[in-house]
Amino acid sequence: MKMNVYSVFDSKLASFGRPWFEMKDASAIRVFSDAVNDGSNPNNQWFKHPEDFSLFFIGEFNDENGALSSSRPPVSLVTAAAIFNHLNSANFDLGDKNNGFKKELVQ
């Protein structure tokens, strides 16, 4: 079975964090959103500095043969700031590019 691979990009460090696997973008966004909005941990950098972090799709993992692949550049799915700001906005649209969703990484 193929699973998608995701990583959080830290713009201050200009690097990606440890990747993880999910079946779909929606589940990765949910995991990221829960973590971003968890203010109970005083060391949660995603909560403290949401403007610095973005969730990216970075590839695929095939658990039958162990192959990791990426047929395109990393694609930004959502910024932590967009998720964080969602709590304070009734006009939030997950599909609106202005909210920080679905952008290819340009280096």
User: Cα–Cα distance between 56 and 74 in angstroms, integer?
Assistant: 6
pLDDT score of 106 more than 50: no
Question: Tokens 């395109």 — which residue?
Answer: 72
User: Cα–Cα distance between 93 and 68 in angstroms, integer?
Assistant: 32
Per-residue model confidence (pLDDT) at position 72: 86
What digits encode the pLDDT tens for the residues 2-59? 999 999 999 999 999 999 999 999 999 999 999 999 989 999 999 999 999 999 999 9
CA dist 22 → 1, 3, 48, 101 (Å)? 11, 6, 25, 18
What digits encode the pLDDT tens for the residues 53-103? 999 999 999 999 999 999 889 999 999 999 987 665 544 455 554 445 455
Which pTM does this prediction carry?
0.79
**CA 64 centroid distance within chain:** 25
